[in-house]
Structure 1
């Protein structure tokens, strides 16, 4: 669980985060949504410990990040996995080398131990025959699965995903969503996902935080978002006719 309490962050005269408070729950997919410039990226960087807020606190299962020593922060960072928007795989490394990289950097495990773990996580993301392939030799969806495998290879407590469905076709995006949710529940991870994908919101939004102009405008579940009267949320989520129809159908079914 990650608790955020009254977090403020500015860059010069520009206030980006304005008193954000929320709880990202363990074992759930927590989604952060909002328009570009709403503060999503700065919030995620703050959660990752890359940016220090001017006010407020962020705690990880009771540990306040900025109260920790340098060594303790390093240990905490090893409990964090990250799936980047563009997968961020090393082109010159094979799939298994990409996945093994964090262990080579941060552990003293033997090559056999590392290989066992690589084999395990690649099987978990349904990539059993891709070990020796390079990123350029596999599809975008497979690259995302490699990125997820690399993010969980250190058995993290916290998983951060930045636009994990970016550039994927709808069918593949659903597979990635389902995989992230399955892994979150299977390993009881606290997962935070920045996304613009409304399909993700509807499918795996167990907790949703909506940011607008640096404020937390709304929070709830993918069921509650259908029922909200918050105009900013409805304008954002139901900007397309398709989602307007979905919401109306949902409301009619429950009346």
Structure 2
């Protein structure tokens, strides 16, 4: 579990995060949504320790990030997995080498052990047999699954996903969503996902935090978001054509 209390962060005199309180639950797909400029990326970077908050606390399973010694922060980073918006695979490495990279960096596993783990994870994301392929030789959806495999190969306690469906077609995006949720449940991971994709919100939004102008304007689940009268939320989600159709169907009793 990750707890955030009174988080504030600004740059050059402009306050971006204005006092955020949130809880991200273990074994759940926790989503942060909001329009561009709402503070999502700054929020994520504070949780990752890339920015130092101006005020407030970030607590990882009872440990305050701001009070950790350098060594403990380094250990915490080893317990994190990160799925980047554009996959961020190493072009010069094979699929297998990309997936094994965190194991080389953060463990003392022997090469055969790393290969065995990589095979296991690649099978879990439905990519068996692609070990020796280069990223340029596989599709965008396959690249994203390789990136997910790399993010979870070290069995992290915390998984962060930054716009994981960016650039993917709806069918492939659903596959990625389902894999993230399944692995979260299987490994009991605290997963935090930044997204603007309402398809993802409806598919796997077990807990949702909606940011607006650096504040939490709404919290709930993917079921509750259909019922809210919060204007900030409805203004945001009504930009989704799919959401419009769902609301119309609900109103018609279908």
TM interval, shorter chain, is: over 0.9
Secondary structure, counterpart of 1:154 in structure 2: coil
Superposed, which structure 2 residues align to 1:17-32 within 5 Å?
A: 17-32=17-32
1:35-65 CA-partner distances (Å, limit 9, x unpaired): 1110000010111111110110000110111
CA distance, structure 2, for counterparts of residue 236 and residue 195 of structure 1? 12
What is aligned with 2:102? Answer: 102
Which residue is equivalent to 1:155?
Answer: 155
**1:240 positional shift:** 3.8
RMSD: 1.1
How many residues are paired up? Answer: 254
Q: TM-score if structure 1 supplies the norm length?
A: 0.97
Q: Counterpart of 1:208?
A: 208
CA drift at 1:245? 2.7
Structure 1 contact 8–56 (Cα < 8 Å) conserved = yes
Alpha-carbon contact 2:30-2:206 (below 8 Å) kept: yes
Kindly provide the CA deviation profile for residues 199-253 of structure 1, in whole angstroms up to 9, marking residues without a partner as x.
0011100011100110111110000000101001001001244422312323554
Bigger drift between 171-180 and 239-248 goes to: 239-248
Is contact 1:9–1:18 with CA below 8 Å preserved after alignment?
Answer: yes
Structure 2 CA distance, aligned partners of 1:217 and 1:61? 25
| Counterpart check, 1:120 vs 2:111 | no
1:168 alignment counterpart: 168
Superimposed CA distance per residue, residues 64-109 of structure 1 (whole angstroms, 9 cap, x where no aligned partner): 1111111111111111000000000000000000011111111111
1:246 aligns with 2:237: no
Distance 1:35 1:151 in 2: 26
Counterpart contact for 2:198–2:240, Cα < 8 Å: no
* Residues 135-154 of structure 1: pairs in structure 2 closer than 5 A: 135-154=135-154
2:129 alignment counterpart: 129
- Displacement of 1:115 in angstroms is 1.1
1:172 partner SS: helix
